[in-house]
Structure formats: structure tokens, C-alpha cells
């Protein structure tokens, strides 16, 4: 299968759904990817098992502020330069690009990088959704080491971070991005196609395309946002009051950098690592946490995350406790 500009709108919509309200806005990435595909042609979407097990895979994602990223939009030479640096570090050719985070903007960015590098894109990623911290990914759970991680700005200024554990990676990369002025592209958790086949979340680009084309689960509730309470900078509570067939039902959606819980009558109908998306009922587009406002008509959806996120180790890294949510139990019976 090849990805071209026709697939792009669906991909962006689907990535926004998988962003669970975070991961940076996907829609502004469309011109960047469209230009790359227009210049370099369609990109092959491949399964990791289609590649030799020792073939090198380059994960890629943007780190920093999306406001700065909207200003420093990136260069045509940036993807190939990052690939060259990765090859220098790894001592061999890169065979494919993979999104480090399918949710939000990074799911789209990886396609632009694949196009400009002339490489296939893996139908996989390292999270299966969006998470705020770099080491909140399934490669970390699989014991794959974060380094050497490359952090580069669009002029090629590059920082190599190595011999660190996951949490420490986050600190060092944030410091590097800060010094680079708030925006960088990062290739972390270097891996082979074999490791990707065993440990990455598989099929997530296809999943995003299907979600973006409208193959969505039944909503938990369709209604109107009747309150948005911000508790400090990080925490938001959203009340959604049911409309139409859902009239009389009330859902409280808790958010941090992503939507993390959907609670009705004291029970969590969905709870992180579940993906929770609020779709604007008028446009069908997923709404970011920071864009939720009173009066918006939304459909609240939940999708299960990859199974590994529900193991004890997965929950410790990316479950409710990781977001400071306690006392919530996920409703086990869910269609």
C-alpha cells in the first residue's frame, strides 16, 4: 500500500483521534506533508515483518512547542540530514521511518520524513496514542534502550543523548530543545525492524486512516459541553450534558495534557490508557484539550489502547496513577 496526498486528510483526522486530545494539533501538519509527498512522491506503508529483521528503523517525532513549530516549519533537507546522523550513529543504512507517537502531529510528521528520505513508513508506532513524556512508550516497556537519541533543529544543530534511562532522557532532551529555541526533531529508542515487529504497536497508521475515514466506535455520549473547569495549568474537567437520545445523561471528562477519564455516576466508562476523543459534532474533527469550550456539541468516543498498556508495567508507566488519578476504576463491561 502507498500513501499519497489523498490519504492525508484521513490520516490527520485519525491521528487527531488517537491523540486523545493531546499530541499537538495534526491538521496544521497537512501542508508540510503535502509538500513533501508532492515533491518526493507517494510513500510505501510496510509492515515491520516485511523488512529484514536486522534492518534499521528510524523513529521520528517533533519535540517542543507547537507554537514555535508553527513558526520554524522545518526544512526540506532536515529529514535526510537526521537520517544521515542516525546512520552515522548506528553504522548502517536506515530502511524505514516510524512515528514515535501516532497520536497528534507526530503521526503526520513521520510521513513527511519518510517521503523526503525516500524510505517506506512502518505501519506502527511507539505509543499507539499520544503521551506527554517521551519514555511513555511501549519500546521502554520492552526494555529497548532510549539511546543514542538524536535531537536536531532545522539547521542541523544536533545533540546526541546516550547512556540514559527513559525518565532521564526526557530531562536531557527538554534541556536540549530549550537551548535550540523550543523546537526540534528527535529520533529516540533506535531499533531494528525485528524489534519493531516484536515490540512496537503494529497497524497504527492503518488504524488512523480507518478512524479518519469515519470507521469510529459508537460514542459513549453525544451532548453539549456545559462546563470547562481549569484547575491550575495542567488539569481540566469537562462536563458533557447529553442531547437527543442521550438527554438526561451527564459525563465528566477529565483531562491533563490529554483526555484521561470519562466518568458517569462515579464510574469510569473510559480511563487512560484508553484513548478518549471529543469530536466536534458539527465538523467531525477531534478537539484538543486546550480548544474545548462551553457550548461545543461533541461526541465522546473511547478506544482501547494496545493491550500492553493494561499490564501492570504498562499501567505504571501510562495508566491513571501516572496522571495522578486515583480512586477511579474502569468499568469492565464495555461494548
Task: By CB under 8 A, name the binding residues for other proteins.
Answer: 24, 28, 31-32, 34-36, 64-68, 70-78, 112, 153-155, 174, 178-179, 181-182, 224, 226-227, 233, 290-291, 293-297
Nearest to 58 by CA among 196, 199, 205, 198: 196
105 vs 149 by CB, closer to other proteins = 105
Q: Which is nearer to other proteins, 293 or 334 (CB)?
A: 293
Closest approach of other proteins to the CB of residue 286, in Å: 14
Of 177 and 220, the one with the shorter C-beta distance to other proteins is 177
The least CB distance from residue 132 to other proteins, in Å, is: 9
Our CB check for other proteins shows the closer of 178 and 321 to be 178
Query: Which residues have CB under 8 Å from 151's CB, separation 6+?
Result: 63, 158, 159, 160, 161, 173, 176, 177, 180, 184, 185, 186
Minimal distance in Å, beta carbon 290 to other proteins? 7
Nearest alpha carbon to residue 128 among 294, 274, 1: 274
Between residues 6 and 332, which has the closer beta carbon with respect to other proteins?
6
CB of 25 to other proteins, least distance (A): 9
Q: Roughly what angle, to the nearest 10 degrees, separates helices 105-117 and 30-40?
A: 20
Structural contact between residues 90 and 56, judged by C-beta atoms closer than 8 angstroms? yes
Q: How far is CA 281 from CA 68, 285, 299, in A?
A: 30, 8, 6
Three-class SS state of 187: strand
Closest approach, Cβ 22 to other proteins, in A, equals 10
Amino acid at each position: 500500500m502507498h500513501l499519497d496526498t489523498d490519504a492525508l486528510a484521513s490520516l490527520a483526522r485519525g491521528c487527531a483521534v488517537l491523540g486523545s486530545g493531546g499530541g499537538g494539533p495534526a491538521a496544521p501538519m497537512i501542508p508540510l506533508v503535502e509538500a513533501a509527498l508532492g515533491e518526493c512522491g507517494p510513500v510505501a506503508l510496510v509492515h515491520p515483518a516485511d523488512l529484514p529483521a536486522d534492518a534499521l528503523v528510524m523513529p521520528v517525532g517533533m519535540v517542543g512547542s507547537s507554537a514555535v513549530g508553527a513558526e520554524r516549519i522545518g526544512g526540506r533537507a532536515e529529514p535526510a540530514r537526521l537520517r544521515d546522523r542516525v546512520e552515522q550513529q548506528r553504522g548502517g543504512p536506515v530502511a524505514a521511518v516510524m512515528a514515535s507517537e501516532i497520536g497528534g502531529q507526530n503521526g503526520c510528521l513521520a510521513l513527511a520524513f519518510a517521503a523526503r528520505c525516500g524510505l517506506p513508513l512502518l505501519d506502527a508506532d511507539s505509543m499507539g496514542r499520544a503521551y506527554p513524556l517521551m519514555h511513555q512508550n511501549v519500546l521502554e516497556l520492552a526494555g529497548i534502550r532510549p539511546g543514542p537519541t538524536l535531537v536536531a533543529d532545522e539547521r542541523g544543530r544536533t545533540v546526541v543523548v546516550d547512556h540514559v534511562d527513559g525518565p532521564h532522557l526526557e530531562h536531557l532532551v527538554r534541556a536540549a530543545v530549550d537551548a535550540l529555541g523550543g523546537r526540534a526533531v528527535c529520533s529516540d529508542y533506535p531499533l531494528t525492524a525485528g524489534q519493531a515487529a516484536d515490540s512496537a504497536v503494529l497497524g497504527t497508521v492503518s488504524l488512523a486512516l480507518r478512524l479518519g475515514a469515519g470507521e469510529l466506535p459508537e460514542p459513549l455520549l453525544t451532548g453539549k459541553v456545559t462546563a470547562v473547569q481549569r484547575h491550575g495549568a495542567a488539569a481540566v474537567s469537562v462536563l458533557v450534558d447529553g442531547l437527543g437520545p442521550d438527554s438526561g445523561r451527564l459525563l465528566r471528562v477529565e483531562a491533563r495534557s490529554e483526555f484521561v477519564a470519562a466518568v458517569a455516576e462515579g464510574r469510569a466508562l473510559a480511563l487512560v490508557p484508553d484513548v478518549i476523543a471529543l469530536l466536534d459534532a458539527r465538523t467531525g474533527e477531534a478537539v484538543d484539550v486546550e480548544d474545548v469550550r462551553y457550548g461545543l456539541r461533541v461526541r465522546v468516543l473511547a478506544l482501547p489502547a494496545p493491550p500492553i498498556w493494561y499490564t501492570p508495567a504498562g499501567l505504571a508507566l501510562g495508566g491513571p496513577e501516572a496522571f495522578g488519578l486515583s480512586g477511579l476504576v474502569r468499568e469492565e463491561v464495555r461494548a
